[in-house]
Chains A and B, each alone.
Chain A
């Protein structure tokens, strides 16, 4: 059999973002793969050192367009810890509300991308249509569909009144029905199962080897979720299930992500029901006392970790960002070995790549 090398990317309909994959195939089997990152490397970590803490909030929002809010949350959390700032309760609640809405939006977006990549445009259309509801809620709260600019150091800049709470509750109900519908479809649609089951398998050992996090790890039966295991913000006061699945394939990841959406709508309802009164933010000083902090949070794709060091000026001395996609990318080599050429698209989209996150 002759070996053929197929380039996937940097411009490829499969990836919205440029990532170069060189896949060597023998017949219809993949025998080797090579990856080249860096097409969207913008040098955010270095830019951070040249800008003030407040400016950096806007920069962090643009690490990734899909999970923009969770990045600012992690960053602000870290800076607030350095400052020793007590964030008002209402601010924390609203922050968490947006985190959960973003999780719904991100997971539905992912389902659409997966479906599109395996030639199931209908699910793509409907998933993105239902995702619009989550975007609507976020837009009504913050004014932005994808970037929200909600977080400021010391709280959030938005507030909501009773009428808005009522409206959001109604939209959440709607979202719930639609997610249940989607779950029903993917559980019963045979062609969907045929394409996703036993594809992109990751064993729990592999997950541990490559330090994979988030829904990909949970779908391989590794029970880890920072919201429960290292509660930040107000997660210790909320009641939710951590979804795991034993199968470890793309199908399991789909189920895990959709069930997480359901959990997220429940979390949103809890937050709205127990929303405390009071201010949403406190004033933060411009300069941050010298010190170091490690801030972690659970993004839609898994653990985000920020390391921030201050040397007492108004600009950070070092900000390190590690996004959940980077370890997932590493695990791709193993997943791609010996798969069918047609499954490359399913495997690649199955781990929910976000190259903008990984490259920074």
Chain B
């Protein structure tokens, strides 16, 4: 494993990525910073979809819960960032568990719908209590992680590498094995003596933890929290597209998909309004012709050798 070319290539890429601030402009760093945060959300989503087999249409419910909790603690109570992040992540886990306990009894489109509705409800809730949450306007956050692009980049990069490592490790650990078995064939997994609901719930909580944390980090980077940044359905859609695009059931592919989406959107920026159109079209073509996503393309080449 440690000597496999795949591992070495990953290490080389990571080192290059870590050293990027020495070579590229602040803008690209800012871009990648966002991509890394969304990457973590997408990886957390893939843990749920690719391994637990549950399609969560509302990743932004978890992200938004974490982000808003952290933001309000910082805005009103002035708590330091790490504490806000921690409490935000806990809130996301609690919210995720409240959502998941009943929702996991459902399957297929129904589970998806409930998670979707959760997002809409959160959105309505934020708007209804505009006095506290800032409503449609959003809430500004006094503290930010860092002002300069490079430290912000390193925060995000470190966060993504650690989260990615943990999620990947978890997915490939014995528990990940059980989770995957539960996602693939719940009946067989339970006949093997595994409490499928327990494992899926745990996966949901882990997914919520990283999503909430990423949401918190993201808003402490942007310095503002608003429905449009962390709750809106379109953000959730981006996350799902990123994960499928990068390659389902790979965890790491989700991060690659996120980076691709944001970077491609930026490279196509001269197209203005059309850039989203073109990025969606590219994603559609990849899904139609390379359903394994980017990592699928890589692995297919490898499988032949």
Partners in one complex: no
Chain B interface (Cβ < 8 Å from any Cβ of A) = none
Residues of A within 8 A of B (CB): none
